[in-house]
Structure 1
Amino acid sequence: MENNREGPYSVLTRDQLKGNMKKQIAEISEIFSLSKPDATVLLMFLRWDSHEVSEFLVENNEKVLSESGLKPVVVDPNQISSCGICFKTCDEVYLDDGDYLISTPFCSHIFCKSCWRKYLEKNFYLVEKTQTRISCPHGACQAAVGPDTIQKLTVGDQEMYVEYILRSYIEGNKVLEIKYCPAQDCNYVIEFHQKNHDGADQEDYGFNVVCLCGHIFCWRCMLESHKPVTCNNASDWLFRDLNSLSKESGEKPLSLSSFETREKTYPLSSIKATKKVCPHCLRPADLGTKQYLRFLTCACSGRFCWKCMQPEEAHKTESGFYKFCNVSMTFEGRAPKTLEGRAEPENSCVGHWKASEVSLKQAKSDLQAFEESNIKNPSDLTEKDFTIIRKGLMLIVQCRQVLKWSCVYDYLHAEYEMSKREYLRFLQADATSLVESFSKTLNEEIGRASSATYENFCCVKHKVTIETSNIGNYFYHFIKTLQEGLDDVKVKSYDDYGGLFWLCDRCTYGNTWFHKECLMCSDDIAARVDLSDMSLN
């Protein structure tokens, strides 16, 4: 188990997560002398915030117990001894099923097991969003339904309730941020330690998580790790640009099987034209007939401009007034740019993407083969020794993934940035050469380690450790350089020209700063430069 509390996240099994949940329930139960069922109900109600539970129980015990449904409800003296839904009497239920009518400990409303099951499945178990409280099936009753009630039902109902509680702990937890690994057939869960990670670039680029199953994914958008490009650029590439470019080049559209995630994640490829992806939570927000509105409000309460897909705050000046949206300032009568109008590198980007996919699969295959060989052919080396080699192989997988997504970074650069594109391809070639050299060295050392004694393995271990550290540092700066926009490259441009207008480098037409493309010739803001214009700081 990867459970380093000093790191930004922990990888846990479902059983370990259940253990953490039960421990939290037991602590509240012991401190405040509550039964474990009542402690479970309280924690669910306050979204698993033990500190808030403690404050409420100390400051206003009666109020929080009443609001959570843990206070006894006044018993109706005229209560009929029959199921409140199907109206079967106690005798009828016993004769039909051999069971009794069941109520919560806090009210007298009784129901048969069959009606309990239908009520719980319809309103809670089979509903996508978890609730903070399960109440009595009687419409006006607020009595809580907790583990002490569920244990009177069938084994199947009890198992579904346990899963529901665990889902509440994962999805409704406002203290811990927990998500399932999105890889197919993986049951690991990731617990993110927010206080241990400042996440300066997490808003745009996400945070990479390495699961114990070997899958590397972005914490923010749940796609596979896509640095150095942003989450929005990654989703656009996977679900729009990649297939469009493949069709234009006459190739078969590429399969997205390697990017498949759980059904509960949002299938961006199926989002219709009337939906826009919220930049805050990456969920689809319905535009519908609201095109007359400037800003859309997502279910996450985030507001964004549906034209430029930027948050509402990005459209405000320091004084709080709204400014023009650059995307909305278009030149009437001019057709939008299509993929056909783009330059040559698109096809080469697809080719590099495919080649990088092959290299990435080979790296994953090498890692899996190493793990399997350790199981089949155990040696005298310790687990710590194997971890050193495993980290090296995992690093190769991550580096191959970065190189693959750097192809998308290449695609995102427009024609006028040829100098940056050439510099990027130089960096890509250099990084690829380093990874291949490291991979060759690592495979040689693995071969030596398989037959080496513990004493001889010290040299292998030292060399692998140094090489792993060096390649890791190189790719850290490689990603950082790309995310900073290749600022080392200088290009000629009129961007710094003062005044109310910028001058187009192609036709010298003066455009206002509200326009990102020349109104005369449709050229983007920037100069078309030769390689001789490129210089490095």
Structure 2
Amino acid sequence: MEHDRGKPYSVLTRNEISVKMKKQINEISDIFFISKSDATVLLMYLRWDSLRVSERLGENKEKLLMDSGLESVVIDPNPDSSSEISLETDVYEFADDDDLISTPFCSHKFDTTYWREYLEKNFYYVEKIQTAISCPDQDCRSAVGPDTIEKLTVRDQEMYERYILRSYIEGNKVLMIKQCPARDCNYVIEFHQENDDDDEYSLNVVCLCGHIFCWRCRLESHRPVTCNKASDWLSSASRKLSDESFSLCSTKTKTVTCPHCLCSLESDTKMPQFLTCVCRLRFCSRCLRSEEAHKIEAVDSGFCVKTEVGILCEDRWNVCQNLLEQAKSDLEAFEESNIKNPSDLLREQDIMIIREGLMLIVQCRRVLKWCCVYDYFYTEYENSKEYLRYLQGNAIAALQSYSNTLQEQKDIVLTAATYEECSFFRHTIPTATSNIGNYFYDFIKTLQDGLVDVRVKSYNGGAGPLWYCDRCTYANTWHDKECEMCYYDSASLVGELSDLSLNKVS
């Protein structure tokens, strides 16, 4: 597979990952003159760190082989009958030793059915990957490698190969590899450079299956919200469904959710107006504002206005989710239409232009959906909140304008009778796609920076929400963080969209 140019990762199939794994096994086997089965056991034992395996083999080969269970063990002629096997099943009565299988390093023999149950229960169907598979006898540390598994059935061998590949992906200490979290997707993502998993905003990964997810938390792409807040929001949504189910059974207890940490505060009696949460936030139980903000609001309006902040955000979230699903449906419909009824006038480049535009709309819709969560957690002053809503409104309007333009031009080229009718489309849409991509990149960055970059003097006398540059007095919109007239070079107004995950390259 070709390397994803311009991206720090590659999307690989499981077969390609398997080839890389087998190459690593063969290298250790050839260099140190050990069997491929033993090399597999050693690499798995040391979490696929070839350098560490090489160092341990060079320093003290015998000790490493003994630690990993690759040395023959002496069987006690009078074993303790109470510790014969680790599998909690009935004791097997073996009639013929020829049908029994043991590891090359011990003489504990079991039939194929017992081996299958042991491996499935302790390894194959266990969520956590183990660094070693040992003999079923619980007092024996002899390693179970491919040379033992090959004596079992074909089904057992296939399950073992899947387990080893899973170990290579999930337990790899050297390579940064993750399975795409989309359902029924078998693609694997490999990073080629260090990625800071401690960063609040991790890189978005675009899988070949079309799914876009956050590398750090493996949730769907959730910019401009941090991983922790995305997790909190989804957890609170699940918790709310659970609370709603519980409320059907118990209606006497009153519950209020803290707007800061989302903890639930309950009261069997009349709910007091002000509550103090364990996170030390004191807030009004009616309007869910902090005590200070509540008092300011009460002074301005004369009374406490009960606001359903969470419900409003959830309603907007649901609306944005529906628009996102519609955008996905439009993309799928175009793909199906292009396959069933290909146009004679459209070139592959034209189809790619439309596809990228529709994919970008999907991603922008996802950003707007998560902006609802950003708004929910945003606790700055009211004027800053108004600016946030202003930016959201601008982003929605810009995306809708682009969506309309793309739809109009798409309808024109799909019904065009001559190549000349497609010429305007080939110039307009790529430029518009680049512009909207950069617009949303700047929009996301503004929110991730916390709206702190706008430090210019605003004037109330101007028409509309404008600010005037102190240097050239040019009137800029609130979305512009630097003067459009004297700061930006004209050539930089149209930047390149680096990829469809809204990761802009400077």
The one-letter code of the counterpart of 1:375 is I
Number of the residue aligned with 2:230: 234
In the TM superposition, what whole-angstrom CA distance separates every residue of 1:169-214 from its partner, at most 9, and x where no partner exists?
121111123333223333333333342x457xx6323332222222
- Tell me the residue number matched to 2:120: 121
Question: What is the CA distance between 1:462 and its match in structure 2?
Answer: 4.1
- Any idea what the Cα deviations from partners look like across 1:315-354, whole Å, max 9, x if unmatched? xxxxxxxxxxx987849xxx65547434647244333222
> What number of residue pairs does the alignment pair up?
407
Tell me the CA shift for residue 389 of structure 1. 3.0
Q: State which of 377, 383, 389 in structure 1 corresponds to 2:341.
A: 377
Q: Any residues of structure 2 matched to 1:25-104 within 5 Å, and which?
A: 25-74=25-74, 86=91, 88-89=93-94, 92-93=95-96, 100-104=99-103
Contact 2:286-2:307 at 8 Å conserved across structures: no
Q: 1:364 is matched with which residue: 313, 322, 328?
A: 328
Cα distance between partner residues in 2 of 1:454 and 1:21: 50
Which runs of structure 2 are paired with 1:129-208 in the superposition (5 Å)?
Answer: 129-195=128-194, 197=195, 203-208=199-204
**What letter is aligned with 1:128?**
E
CA separation in 1, counterparts of 2:354 and 2:58? Answer: 52
Distance in 1, matches of 2:162 and 2:279, equals: 51
Structure 2 CA distance for partners of 1:123 and 1:350, relative to 1, 3 Å = closer
In 2: Cα distance, 1:67 partner to 1:461 partner: 65
Give the CA deviation at 1:397.
0.9
Say whether the 8 Å CA contact 2:287–2:307 is kept in structure 1. no
Q: Secondary structure at the match of 2:411?
A: helix
Q: String of CA shifts for 1:7-65, please: whole Å, max 9, x gaps.
A: 23222333333233223223333333332222211110111112222222333333322
Report the residue type matching 1:366 in the other structure: D
Q: Is the 8 A contact 2:10 2:189 kept in 1?
A: yes
Bigger mean CA offset, 127-136 vs 212-221: 212-221
The alignment's TM-score, normalised by the length of structure 2, stands at 0.70
Supply the RMSD in Å over aligned alpha carbons: 3.8
User: Contact between 2:357 and 2:406, CA under 8 Å: does it hold in 1?
Assistant: yes
Matches within 5 A, 1:2-17: 3-4=3-4, 7-17=7-17
Q: CA-to-partner distance for each residue in 1:228-282, whole Å, 9 max, x for gaps?
A: 112222222233269859999xxx9xxxxxxxxxxxxxxxxxxxx9xxx9xxxxx
Task: Call closer, same or farther: CA 1:55–1:237 in 2, change over 3 Å.
Answer: same
Q: Which residue of 2 aligns with 1:468?
A: 433
Q: Residue 27 of structure 1 aligns to a residue in which SS?
A: helix
8 Å contact from structure 1 (residues 228, 483) kept in 2: yes
CA apart distance, 1:372: 1.6
> What amino acid maps onto 2:42 in structure 1?
L
The answer as to whether partners of 1:345 and 1:411 remain within 8 angstroms in 2 is no
**Percent of residue pairs identical:** 60
State the partner residue of 2:288: 341
Q: Partners in 2 of 1:122 and 1:220 — Cα distance? A: 30
* Residue 372 of structure 2, aligned match among 384, 400, 407: 407
Change (3 A) 1:486 1:159: same
- 1:473 to partner: Cα distance: 1.3
Quote the Cα distance in structure 2 between the aligned partners of 1:74 and 1:87: 23
Q: Within 5 Å, which residues of 2 pair with 1:234-383?
A: 234-240=230-236, 330=280, 337-338=284-285, 340-342=287-289, 344=307, 346=309, 347-379=311-343, 383=348
Q: Secondary structure at the match of 1:405?
A: helix
TM-score (norm. length: structure 1): 0.66
Q: CA deviation at 1:478?
A: 0.6
Question: Which region of structure 1 is more displaced relative to structure 2, 54-63 or 130-139?
Answer: 54-63
Distance 1:214 1:403 in 2: 19
Q: Which moved more, 1:36-45 or 1:20-29?
A: 20-29
Q: Which runs of 5+ in 2 are unaligned?
A: 86-90, 249-256, 262-275, 290-305, 458-463, 469-477, 482-506
Q: Counterparts of 2:92 and 2:325 in 1: how far apart (Å)? A: 61
* Pair 18,242 (structure 1): closer, same or farther in 2 beyond 3 Å: closer
Conserved 8 A contact 2:206-2:212: yes
1:212 aligns with 2:208: yes
